[in-house]
């Protein structure tokens, strides 16, 4: 089955700096890669996702890149703000190629943005 | 308001006492799933359901049961809870498994 590894487990950045979180996956058939943000005491919320037919996607200060050959994808947050402090999860799924597809999550990254 | 509702939010129980955590969504989603969240392990899928009466095991199904008799509800059943099932549980729903998943607020379960 799919295995998703996420690094680093914790990330401390100064406000205004950039943050990068990296994930690798094992199943070459995976083609859907979402990122979720979990604030304290809440359930995870989708912040961005990418499908295997694109290499990069951007939404304001957030961007995700995908390298299918190397089987890794990354989340980039620019101009970090204190409200970016949260736990971030990457995930991978086979998507439409597998009608019984599961969503496999990484272990999470605790991001702390210090003013 | 579109939402996934879990109940209860907090539960302390004793080993062996059957319990059910309810999950309901009002978005007419076909796909629903249960996860447990443990420190350092992220979110691990327990069971998922592609539609009414269609369920399958996730990565950590042992000790859990689910049912999907109606589209909106997907309860998680612990027939005989044990201390290693102490965890934070999340229910989620989405149109399919490759669309945005909407998570509930979580249920913190402690088994003593």
**Closest chain A residue by Cα to residue B105:** A43
Interface residues from chain A to B (CB-CB < 8 Å) = 1, 6, 9, 32, 34, 36, 41-46, 49, 51, 89, 93, 95-96, 99-108
Pick the closest to residue A37 from A84, A99, A78 (CA basis): A84
Residue closest to A15 by CA, chosen among A64, A57, A77: A77
**B61-B89-A63 Cα angle (round to 5):** 100
CA A6-B63-B50 angle, to 5 degrees, is 65
C-alpha distances (whole Å) from A80 to each of A31, A71, A88, B75, B77 are 28, 26, 14, 38, 41
Residue A100 CA, distance from chain mean position: 22
Could you report the per-residue pLDDT of A2-53, keeping only the tens digit for each? 889 999 999 999 999 999 999 999 988 888 899 999 999 999 999 999 988 7
Sign of CA pseudo-dihedral B110, A39, A62, A6: negative
Helices marked H in A1-115 — which ranges?
Answer: none
pLDDT in tens, A41-56: 999 999 999 988 778 9
Model confidence at A99: pLDDT above 50: no
Q: Is B40 within 8 Å of A107 when comparing Cβ atoms? A: yes
């Amino acid at each position: 089955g799919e295995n998703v590894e996420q690094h680093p487990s914790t990330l401390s950045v100064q406000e205004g700096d950039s943050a990068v979180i990296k994930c690798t996956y094992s199943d070459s058939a995976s083609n859907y890669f979402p990122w979720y943000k979990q604030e304290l005491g809440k359930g995870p919320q989708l912040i961005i996702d990418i499908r295997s037919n694109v290499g990069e996607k951007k939404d304001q200060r957030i961007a995700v890149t995908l390298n299918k050959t190397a089987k890794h994808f990354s989340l980039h947050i620019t101009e970090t703000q204190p409200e970016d402090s949260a736990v971030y999860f990457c995930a991978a799924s086979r998507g439409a190629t597998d009608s019984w597809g599961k969503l496999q999550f990484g272990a999470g990254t605790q991001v702390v943005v210090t003013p | 308001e579109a939402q996934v509702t879990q109940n209860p939010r907090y539960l302390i129980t004793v080993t062996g006492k059957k319990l059910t955590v309810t999950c309901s969504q009002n978005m007419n989603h076909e796909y629903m799933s249960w996860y447990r969240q443990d420190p350092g392990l992220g979110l691990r899928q327990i069971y998922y359901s592609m539609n009414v009466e269609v369920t399958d095991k996730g990565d950590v199904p042992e000790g859990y049961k689910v049912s999907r008799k109606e589209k909106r509800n997907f309860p998680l059943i612990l027939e005989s809870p044990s201390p290693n099932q102490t965890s934070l549980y999340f229910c989620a729903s989405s149109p399919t498994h490759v669309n945005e998943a909407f998570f509930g607020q979580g249920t913190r379960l402690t088994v003593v």
